[in-house]
Structure 1
């Protein structure tokens, strides 16, 4: 299914708050914060010439967030950044002066952070980022996970010292429980989705994601003509689309939001013209995208700057995982988790449809940009779906680079 954006706000300027959050100065500030993080380095940008030729595109570039800050996902940029900002703001309030990130590890800031607990709900990657951020600043973290989150992903979060809390039901149920418990205990909720009255922290999370766009624009040989980005609640899609619109203006690329058919809350929202909560059905293999209600902030941005919305099926995502692990021609091998290649799966599906190709003006001159949003964050599941362990794919990558 495919839908062009027909919202009345389409192509209207961003809300001033969103423009400030996602603009050039904000991205520069995020990148400054990253210089104080261990393991910080720009993530790779890969070129897929063989796949581009097969799909009838000019070029395909993939930003590989599987290498981000040792967490294996773009989410490392968002939750931890928001935690750092929240702790520094609380320290500024208590100490009566502006506290910069350069003072993050000072005794005064560490003492204040030690008395704070941050909480969130997660499918896996956001919680890992929040827990890592809490550990980095010396705060406590409580992470709520729904019944569909694998034990491997829970363990990956717990290693950062987080208190893990299981919740029956879906991701949305875990969000509600995190808010309820945090309110009772005086914890600070660091969510990557927003709802009425709760917007600033999700904006900070989205702001953190702008760093990957800034990096990509420096790495790309030319500005892309098309961008396909996957969405759960819509945070990364809105951050990428919003930043590109603000930085590039009329030269911005055609932007397509890609979702799993089993969890297409933004597609349904775009179709209805207003935020829609969809019914929970069969779980999707794209576990990090299994969200049934959009972030209100993300929708506010995407209603203005997304050009189209589309969905992909389970087999589309798995096929891309396998294609990236076993590339053809001169394409590099890439480890993409179940949700990591969903944007690329959208491109593959679009290229196979003459109607969608025409609607998006996809041609042999198109320069397409996609994001591998996660590596193998659940190695056992990856091996089950791809038939190779992620370390075996990674070994082939290292061999090709040698």
Structure 2
């Protein structure tokens, strides 16, 4: 039995620069490291509503593919924002605010998180305006963080971001500005306006001259990875991790944390992107960051990125073993597979369109002998997937799956 249509196109390339069977290097540790992880863990664990997101065993998938286990980290309820991005944007916001209070002479030392939550510095924080560009989820996290800690917020979205995602961001008190073009155009406009108006950019992608804040964003994501490793049953070490692409922040954060934890026995990390927005795949083929131009027209809105984050590339260029592309049709079928309870022992799960690229890559590879062999998938493989979002665009989710997220979770199979 096939879980996905075996005729769906898929591309796979091995990363010739990958460093195998070695400890994490200085280049990667300059981006993400144990001290940074400890800081993120200690900060985020203080926030109201923090708890580890659940890890599910997709037993039906593992049986059908003939692998030892498939594990799905479900980020659909993280802080009520519906995606893993809640860990990154809001973390970078609070880090920036604390630094700025010291820089302005308001505090001699960085204030406590509780002091910010209690509104001790609210009058000063209202004078600070944070901004970013987003496909939806990162902007929601930044807006939530700004609301939580009491500063101003302006979020830029591009032409094809849905009205549902715009409303979700605005619900956290942000001013939302729609600009022509694609995600990368919105990134440039947000940076230009911030420079002119004295705003602070909290972007999830890095570029020359802008590294510190995206590093904080990615460091926030590492908490999710460490949670997943701790939740695996005793004695189980992942052999493979299939990760969504985008600008590379999620993939780099999970890859780095796995490399730090497991050392030279780190899992094989496979980065999966939409075939219409495959900047990481093309970069791996070229051996250096490549810009993909055009409309980047994919349903996987959170992955519709044409430019690689330079910090992410510092990790992935040597830490990711393989890069893949999948189609929108494959992603939609994975959403339905999860919703129907056909992946997780008759337990329906809500997975948004950007949550399932890694799953699509795993299943398509597992169903084809040449790809299965190329990736070393076998009966002993233990595969980790990151379910990076839930129904963050409820109307689109209903359209694609055929029923609402609420209906999916209320159903018994």
Same fold (TM over 0.5): yes
Match of 1:357 among 372, 383, 393: 372
Counterparts of 1:118-267 in structure 2, within 5 Å, are 118-221=130-233, 222-267=236-281
Q: Please identify, of 51-60 and 204-213, the stretch whose mean Cα deviation from structure 2 is larger.
A: 51-60
How far apart are residue 375 of structure 1 and its match? Answer: 0.2
How far apart are residue 305 of structure 1 and its match? Answer: 0.5
SS at match of 1:262: coil
Q: Does 1:388 align with 2:403?
A: yes
Q: Does 1:316 align with 2:330?
A: yes
Instruction: Name the residue aligned to 2:363.
Output: 348
Q: Does 1:46 align with 2:56?
A: yes
In 1, Cα distance between equivalents of 2:248 and 2:18 = 19
How far apart are residue 34 of structure 1 and its match? Answer: 1.9
Q: Please identify, of 214-223 and 87-96, the stretch whose mean Cα deviation from structure 2 is larger.
A: 87-96
Instruction: Name the residue aligned to 1:284.
Output: 298
CA contact (8 A) 2:23 2:264 kept: no
* Superposed CA RMSD: 1.7
Give the number of the structure whose residues are more often helix, by fraction: 1
CA contact (8 A) 1:72 1:376 kept: yes
SS at match of 1:118: strand
Residue ranges of structure 1 left out of the alignment (5+ in a row) = none
How far apart are residue 316 of structure 1 and its match? Answer: 0.8
Q: TM-score, normalised by structure 2?
A: 0.93
SS at match of 2:76: helix
In 2, Cα distance between equivalents of 1:364 and 1:213 = 24
Instruction: Name the residue aligned to 1:307.
Output: 321
CA contact (8 A) 1:21 1:204 kept: no
In 2, Cα distance between equivalents of 1:10 and 1:176 = 36
Q: Please identify, of 77-86 and 323-332, the stretch whose mean Cα deviation from structure 2 is larger.
A: 323-332
1:189-248 CA-to-partner distances (Å, cap 9, x unmatched) read 000001111111100000000110111111001111110011100000000001110111
In 2, Cα distance between equivalents of 1:210 and 1:217 = 11
Q: Does 1:70 align with 2:80?
A: yes
SS at match of 2:131: strand
CA contact (8 A) 2:23 2:263 kept: no
In 2, Cα distance between equivalents of 1:39 and 1:344 = 28
1:143-178 CA-to-partner distances (Å, cap 9, x unmatched) read 000011000000000011101111001000000000
